[in-house]
Amino acid sequence: MPDRSPLWPLSLAAATTVTALGAGIAPLRRALHAREGGLRPSEFPGGPEDIWVGQVPGVEAVELPPGLARFACRNNRLAEMALASDGFAEAVAAAVARHGPERVAVVLGTSTAGIEETEQAYSRRDGAGALPASFDYAGSHDLQSLPAYVRARLGLRGPAFAVSTACTSGARSMLEAASLIASGLADAVVAGGVDSLCRLTLHGFASLELLSRGRPTRPCAADRDGISIGEAAGLVLLTRPEHAPPGAPLLLGAGASSDGHHMSSPHPEGLGAVSAMRAALDAAGLTPGEVDYVNLHGTGTRANDAMEDRAVHHMFGDDVPCSSTKGWTGHALGASGAVEAVIAMLCLEDGLVPGCLGVAERDPEFRSAIAIANQARPVRRIASNSFGFGGSNCCLLIGQAA
Amino acid sequence: MKCWIAGVAVLGAGLPGWTAGEAALAGTAPWCMGDVVPPPPALLPPTERRRTSPAVRLALAVAAEATAGIEDRAALETVFASSNGDGAVVGGILEALHDPAGIALSPTQFHNSVHNSAAGYWHIAVGSTAPSISLGGHDGSFATGLLAAVMAVATRGTSVLLCAYDLPLPVPLAAVRPTGPGFATALVLRPEPVAGAMARLSLRHVAEPAPAAPPSDALDALAEGNPAARALPLLRALAARRLARIGLPLTADTHLALELDPC
């Protein structure tokens, strides 16, 4: 076949995340070990009552660099917090120095970009219904505002685009990143996702009666009653292994599929989830027995967790420990897959299986090895699942350097 | 990177389908402005069909035309590209969030607001479990979709349905994001020159602005106004069976250098 080169593995040459636990990997790592979640009763202005959310402290105070003020919105402030954490911007600068700015691409997932800015602008419509003159559509509301901001902030000149496949966006971006590198268009790609709290998603999930009420989300619990929405940024720098620092973890493979079943309900038997996991294993050349931990999509809804248990049990059987980490971060929608890729990296490093948070009793119907307490054990390879509205499925396989 | 174009569709002002619009695109018949009326998607069951918005209908119309008669339609990976997404649905939700009488969102509207709703409905319509991606890209959304589709063909050896669509936004968003008449196009891209392939398409990414190409006629003007319609130079060369080199802007400072070689 012409033009083809192997897609996998890639190296996760740098990574960072900003979650309800704070900016950077360190507070998230500390919280995972201490089993202290970041969800709090929602005080988000204009949001639904009686819910818990994973709000990032300090977002409002973030200022974008001079010259990039047109990109000011909650989502790009979150992106800026991530760029300034864990030496991420410096790692990208090193990739630029090595490969040139036109060889570093940006592929970022988001479901709502800067729509929170649009919501505020709607509140300030004039008597004729027009939006305020200060509202910058392309800099905030448009999906492209996120990759455009990150590209401008980092001084990149490679391809840059936004992936928006609902809650798989952050994970799905990494498949496109692999294509960019394999096709020779880029040597390094900033991938991942950023999604921020907004009234559209809070009230939207409330309208579907999918939000956990009065308490934080409890994925895989017998008494689970829904999602706690979070906001987050998860960024990774993907390169070929020979261009990464020694020992950098690997993105061993990724797989995607569609349900072709329903817009907002997963296929009950998890057929799409199974085919995404199988595609990821095939891409990585791995068997299910070589996976040490499955980080579930685990949103805490009745339907998702039941479907995912069936799919994961079908693939991995009785013994591979699996859990959802959304009890710590909330469900960060289009950023969740990227955040959980970063969580996978720290689980590899620390030998940690973080058991689902806040679960008194597992769903007795579940057959997978759902962990509800932390386990210290060697973890060499992790499967990380993401599923979304529209029947979108994606699975990433992340492992220690060979 | 290269691939072969094995299916094509268009739906836009004065272009009511590929067969009906081919002569106007090729320049052998006059082009006249007309209304864009996306039909209800016949491939969907009636309950789902009723829930589809104009943007979804626009996207599904070209996806169906480009894949009509293709036996492996459900096996095609899909790339959906749109700048504005489902503006009518998102605009409706923004209005509802500011309703002085209280917030009451429709659950169907909410799940239809995701950028991948057109893709979701397409995969339901044809019973496809193939991978799918939905992309933004502002004015470069067609170029973004084409890049992702050609990359998938070239790096994974897969066949891809690319669907690009954009409709004008509702007020008040229309004033801050003016968009010309609705436009959609779809291409079926293959890794090999299958029987019936129309042209070979080569693509390079160039980290420089696209060469200036001022509009020279009414169709060029149509292309300027709608991100999906920026496919028109490619569609016109394809309709005319003409060897063509096209500079397609991706971002303000980069472009895709396309070479179209008719079979």
For chain A, percent of residues with pLDDT exceeding 70 = 99
Residue A4's pLDDT is 40
Beta-carbon contacts of residue B212 (< 8 Å; ≥ 6 apart): none
Provide the terminal-to-terminal Cα distance of chain A, rounded to the nearest Å.
28
Find chain A residues with C-beta within 8 A of B83's C-beta: 142, 144
Torsion sign over Cα A306, A309, A312, A315: negative
Q: pLDDT tens digits, residue range B97-154?
A: 999 999 999 999 999 999 999 999 999 999 999 999 999 999 999 999 999 999 999 9
Best of A118, A141, A151, A161 to substitute, by most chain B Cβ atoms within 10 angstroms, is A161
Tell me the average pLDDT across B45-57: 92
Find, among A245, A146, A144, the residue nearest to A188 by Cα.
A245
Is A2 a member of any domain?
no
pLDDT computed for residue A238 by the predictor: 98
How many structural domains is chain A composed of?
1
- Calculate Rg over the CA atoms of chain B: 18
Q: How confident is the model at residue B48 (pLDDT cuts 50, 70, 90)?
A: confident
What's the rounded Cα separation, in Å, for the pair A127 and A310? 54
Asked if A260's CB is within 8 angstroms of B131's CB, the reply is no
pLDDT at B215: 84
* Active site (annotated) includes residue A99: no
- A211 and chain B in contact, CB less than 8 A: no
Instruction: Label residue A398 by pLDDT band (50, 70, 90).
Output: very high
CATH code, residues B2-262? 3.40.47.10
| A313: containing domain | 10-399
Of A3, A125, A143, the CB nearest to B154: A3
Residue type, A336: S
pLDDT interval class at B44 (50, 70, 90): very high
- Pick from B245, B144, B188: nearest CA to B6: B188
For chain A, give the mean pLDDT: 96
Closest residue on chain B to A116 (Cα): B94
What are A382's strand-pairing partners?
A: A293, A398
A3 within a domain of the structure (yes/no):
no
Which tokens in the block code for residue A46? 């204009």
Catalytic residue of the set A313, A314, A331, A394: A331
Instruction: Measure the CA–CA gap between A303 and A115, rounded to whole angstroms.
Output: 28
Mean pLDDT of B63-81: 96
Taking CB atoms and an 8 Å cut-off, how many pairs form between chains A and B? 221
- Residues B73 and B66: their CA atoms lie apart, in Å, by 10
d(CA A136, CA A122): 13
Q: Would residue A267 show up in a list of annotated catalytic residues for this protein? A: no
Q: Which member of A141, A243, A267, A297 is catalytic? A: A297
- Encoding tokens for residue B45? 């069951």
DSSP string, B126-151: HT--S-EEEE--GGGHHHHHHHHHHH
Chain A CB within 8 Å of residue B252 CB: no
The CATH number assigned to the domain holding A280 equals 3.40.47.10
Residue pLDDT, tens place only, A99-153: 999 999 999 999 999 999 999 999 999 999 999 999 999 999 999 999 999 999 9
Q: Which of B258, B78, B49 is nearest to B152 (CA)?
A: B78
Which pLDDT belongs to residue A402? Answer: 79
Structural domain boundaries of chain B?
A: 2-262
pLDDT at A5 over 60: no
Other Cβ atoms within 10 Å of A304 Cβ, number: 26
Interface of A with B in 216-275 (CB under 8 A): 255-264, 271-272, 275
Q: B residues 56-85 near A, CB within 8 Å?
A: 74, 78, 83, 85
> Is pLDDT of A288 > 80?
yes
Question: In terms of C-beta density within 10 A (0-12 exposed, 13-18 middle, 19 or more buried), how is residue B72 classed?
Answer: exposed
Q: Alpha-carbon distance A149 to A140, whole Å?
A: 9
The Cα–Cα gap between A387 and A168 comes to 5
Read off the pLDDT band of A2 (50, 70, 90): very low
Q: What is the pLDDT of residue A164?
A: 98
Question: How far is CA A209 from its chain centroid?
Answer: 23
Q: What is the mean pLDDT of the segment spanning B169-185?
A: 97
A167 is catalytic: yes
* Nearest one of A316, A312, A289 to A380, comparing CA atoms: A289
Q: What is the ipTM of this complex?
A: 0.97
The pLDDT assigned to B174 comes to 98
What local confidence, expressed as pLDDT, does residue A77 receive? 98
Q: Which of B106, B117, B142, B151 to mutate to test the interface with A (most CBs of A within 10 A)?
A: B151
